[in-house]
Amino acid sequence: MPLAVVHSRALSGFDAPPVAVEVHLSGGLPAFNLVGLPDTEVKESRDRVRAALQNAQFDFPARKITVNLAPADLPKESGRFDLPIALGILAATGQLPAERLSNYEFAGELALSGELRPIRGALAMTLKAHRDGRAFVLPAGSAEEAALVKEAIVHPARSLLGVCAHLTGREELPRCEAPEPKRGKCSAPDLADVRGQSLPKRALEVAAAGRHSLLMLGPPGTGKSMLAQRLPGLLPAMTEDEALEAAAIHSLCGRFRLEDWSRRPLRAPHHTASAVALVGGGGDPRPGEISLAHHGVLFLDELPEWDRRVLEVLREPLETGQINISRAARQATFPARFQFLAAMNPCPCGYLGHPSGKCRCTPDQIARYRSRISGPLLDRIDLQIEVPALPVHVLPGDSPNAEPSAGVRARVFAAAARQRARQGKANADLQPKEVERFCVPDAQGDSLLRTAFARLSLSARAYHRILKVARTIADLAGADALAASHLAEAIGYRRLDGAAG
Ligand SMILES: [Zn+2]
């Protein structure tokens, strides 16, 4: 048969669209033409495939070979198509039974020896291949993560010869078993290690319970970063679907590790990070920090030091839970549903309100410093709290009764269960219509909210955020109604709004 078709996958953002690798043989001068790959990658792929076939003792046909990767408009990195191209040539020349190819998808980069090298994105590709009802043959180094997809049939292969032996029925490839994820103890540090700061700890508990975004304002050394690092340890483990999505994103970056399975990530990029590093991008778009934080926590320290244009990009994912990246003619979408955590100093020198009294910043300088964070971004943060400097007489070890994370976690889990039962999602994710339905204050609470709204000149967005946070506070208390005390606490978490700033 002079024509063969082999199924494979491209990677486009988080998607893995099907690619048909068509190999056609014809008369004429011997040639090896590759259509549908970027020019720069054609030569390398041709050389690898030819060498691998010859080194595996197959006949490389002295005919005109045309390989077409369809559809033409998908982004394609050459490496992953080496294996399907080589198999297509073998099938088109009758060295392999073509009819068995249709039940499988293949991806893998060939070494010149014919060995298979791992590829990135195996998990995202397998999710799709499994949905289309085909088994997937992958390099052994990529197969383990792919087998995390429940019931997917994944065959790990070490070499081109191994794949051919499987297809001719000489020696079956093993089927990769889903690896047993090490669901060990949570590695997050414990809340009991943070001395003092009972109010910020309470705010962290509220944030964890409703998946709310949180901004901490305070001098250096008061434990803002320590608190941030302890948030993932307060959150419920990921569901199976969440864990698969998060793992697929890490697999796109070639960074998936089995020990991270279902563990909520904490990503804390430095303020010198570029927009591409933060939100993703590049010629062949890769996920950024916000997507690596998907279903976990994104922590930005020193918020005013970040380039304002970089921060503005966060508005889209904070609203929609995903990020669209356009680059030249290409569009890529990555999920980015993260819990947003940020910290900043209260003034340029950092010591405003510190007992040492060493701050000499003028009100003007302070206002300018704080205005580096745009109103619209601030508006999207549910809780804004102060993490004050500790009185000098509080020393390490002074708070022996500090509650460990386990106790807080139990309350957070119970509150999260209430939210799931009531509305199927976290309070932070409630839409305006749902806020009106699920976050109705009682009479006293309503009048308290009206007074605060007028006095603090809150935006409509801030109003909804207060209601959502009050809902979480009530859920932590196991209460159905939103009482004045719940609303008062929620209003107290808007330290940077209006007059309260
Ligand atoms: Zn200062």
Please tell me the predicted confidence (pLDDT) of residue 456. Answer: 79
- Calculate how far, in angstroms, residue 368's C-alpha sits from the geometric centre of ligand 1: 12
Please tell me the predicted confidence (pLDDT) of residue 180. Answer: 75
Only one residue has tokens 């080589």, namely 86
Burial of 102 by CB count in 10 Å (0-12 exposed, 13-18 middle, 19+ buried)? exposed
- Calculate how far, in angstroms, residue 352's C-alpha sits from the geometric centre of ligand 1: 5
Statement: residue 499 has pLDDT above 50: no
The winner for highest mean pLDDT among 26-30, 157-161, 357-361 is 157-161
Q: What is the pTM of this model?
A: 0.86
- Calculate how far, in angstroms, residue 438's C-alpha sits from the geometric centre of ligand 1: 42
Is residue 414 very low, low, confident or very high in pLDDT (cuts 50, 70, 90)? very high
Query: What share of the chain has pLDDT > 70, as a percent?
Result: 95
Mean pLDDT along residues 43-67: 92
- Calculate how far, in angstroms, residue 306's C-alpha sits from the geometric centre of ligand 1: 18
The model's pLDDT over 195-254, given as tens digits with 9 standing for 90+, comes to: 888 899 999 999 999 999 999 999 988 899 999 999 999 998 888 889 999 999 998 888
- Calculate how far, in angstroms, residue 335's C-alpha sits from the geometric centre of ligand 1: 38
The model's pLDDT over 131-155, given as tens digits with 9 standing for 90+, comes to: 888 999 999 989 988 988 888 899 9
Please tell me the predicted confidence (pLDDT) of residue 470. Answer: 97
Please tell me the predicted confidence (pLDDT) of residue 341. Answer: 97
- Calculate how far, in angstroms, residue 235's C-alpha sits from the geometric centre of ligand 1: 35
User: Which of residues 489 and 499 earns the better pLDDT score?
Assistant: 489
- Calculate how far, in angstroms, residue 347's C-alpha sits from the geometric centre of ligand 1: 5
Helix (H), strand (E), coil (C) string for 352-419: CCCCCCCCCCCHHHHHHHHCCCCHHHHHCCCEEEECCCCCCCCCCCCCCCCCCHHHHHHHHHHHHHHH
- Calculate how far, in angstroms, residue 389's C-alpha sits from the geometric centre of ligand 1: 13
Q: What is the mean pLDDT of the chain?
A: 89
Statement: residue 163 has pLDDT above 60: yes
Please tell me the predicted confidence (pLDDT) of residue 312. Answer: 87
- Calculate how far, in angstroms, residue 497's C-alpha sits from the geometric centre of ligand 1: 20
- Calculate how far, in angstroms, residue 360's C-alpha sits from the geometric centre of ligand 1: 5
Identify which of 246, 10, 218 has the alpha carbon closest to the alpha carbon of residue 107: 10
- Calculate how far, in angstroms, residue 240's C-alpha sits from the geometric centre of ligand 1: 47
- Calculate how far, in angstroms, residue 376's C-alpha sits from the geometric centre of ligand 1: 25
- Calculate how far, in angstroms, residue 351's C-alpha sits from the geometric centre of ligand 1: 5
Please tell me the predicted confidence (pLDDT) of residue 187. Answer: 67
Amino acid at residue number 185:
K
Is residue 394 very low, low, confident or very high in pLDDT (cuts 50, 70, 90)? low
